[in-house]
Structure 1
């Protein structure tokens, strides 16, 4: 089991769009294994490759008894609204209510380049959206506005003291 250290807010790799996976080889398999091992720790729901310092379009998830990974994920459909608390491993000590779609559908490929499709509601939908945002170089706090943003920024300042 290899649990990789997390990159935290301020690390440039979190702000760069990730490159698509084009080479399906042993190093990619090792990356996926590390993503899966790292997300399995208690209290974790999803993990994008750039959160462990690799700028490739890949993420793992462990939500509501659903566990897996997606390479080259694309958010292909969302529906409804789901407002709830959100946090991020790369922004420790901060949480905020964030409006997301209540349903999300992601398509991508597996280690063999075969198509995969994951869809979910509630927290799984939130995770799928959150991780695909990471792969575009976005953090969940970027979309916060008003009092929600002010509260999150206060938490972030306190967490960094």
Structure 2
């Protein structure tokens, strides 16, 4: 495993649409392992492949309940609404108030190509939406209702 460099918001790659993963092989597994290590090192809860310069539909998420890997994810249903403050590893020190669904169901593939669905509520639903947005070239600032300031000691 290796740490990858996280692309910052001024990097044009973050505005590009990621391509579906078609090869479920060692190269993908190494990418997923590196993404997880990079996310944990940066104290994040999610990371999309595009954020490390790879235009593929791959995401890792861990909101404190264990690592989730999503390949070619898509939201198949959403319910309710929640508004909270979000940040992004590609926009360090910046936070915005964003409204997202309260519950989502995501269809995806695992690292071996097996299809599955997973449900998320609250923070996990927010993380699913945030990371899947990255795959379409969107960042949270595009949909933030307002940017907010958070002092360092308030960060989790």
| TM-score normalised over the length of structure 2 | 0.90
**Residue 118 of structure 2 is aligned to residue 98 of structure 1:** no
1:19 counterpart residue number: 19
2:154 counterpart residue number: none
**Bigger helix fraction:** 1
**Residue 56 of structure 2 is aligned to residue 56 of structure 1:** yes
Which sits farther off after the overlay, 28-37 or 128-137?
28-37
Shift in Å, 1:123:
0.5
Which sits farther off after the overlay, 3-12 or 41-50?
41-50
1:107 counterpart residue number: 107
2:153 counterpart residue number: none
Q: 1:109 to 1:41 in 2, by over 3 A?
A: same
Provide the rounded CA distance (Å) in 2 between the counterparts of 1:25 and 1:88: 28
Provide the rounded CA distance (Å) in 2 between the counterparts of 1:84 and 1:137: 21
| Aligned partners of 1:50 and 1:135 also within 8 Å | yes
Q: Which blocks of at least 5 consecutive residues in structure 2 are unaligned?
A: 151-156
1:47-83 per-position Cα deviation (integer Å, ceiling 9, x unaligned)? 0000000000000001131312110001111110111
2:10 counterpart residue number: 10
Provide the rounded CA distance (Å) in 2 between the counterparts of 1:38 and 1:118: 23
Provide the rounded CA distance (Å) in 1 between the counterparts of 2:41 and 2:3: 8
Structure 1 vs Structure 2 CA RMSD: 1.7
| Aligned partners of 1:64 and 1:124 also within 8 Å | no
SS at match of 2:35: helix
Provide the rounded CA distance (Å) in 1 between the counterparts of 2:143 and 2:42: 26
Which sits farther off after the overlay, 122-131 or 27-36?
27-36
Provide the rounded CA distance (Å) in 2 between the counterparts of 1:44 and 1:64: 10
Shift in Å, 1:42:
5.9
1:44 counterpart residue number: 44
| TM-score normalised over the length of structure 1 | 0.87
SS at match of 1:105: strand
1:128 counterpart residue number: 128
Which sits farther off after the overlay, 56-65 or 108-117?
108-117
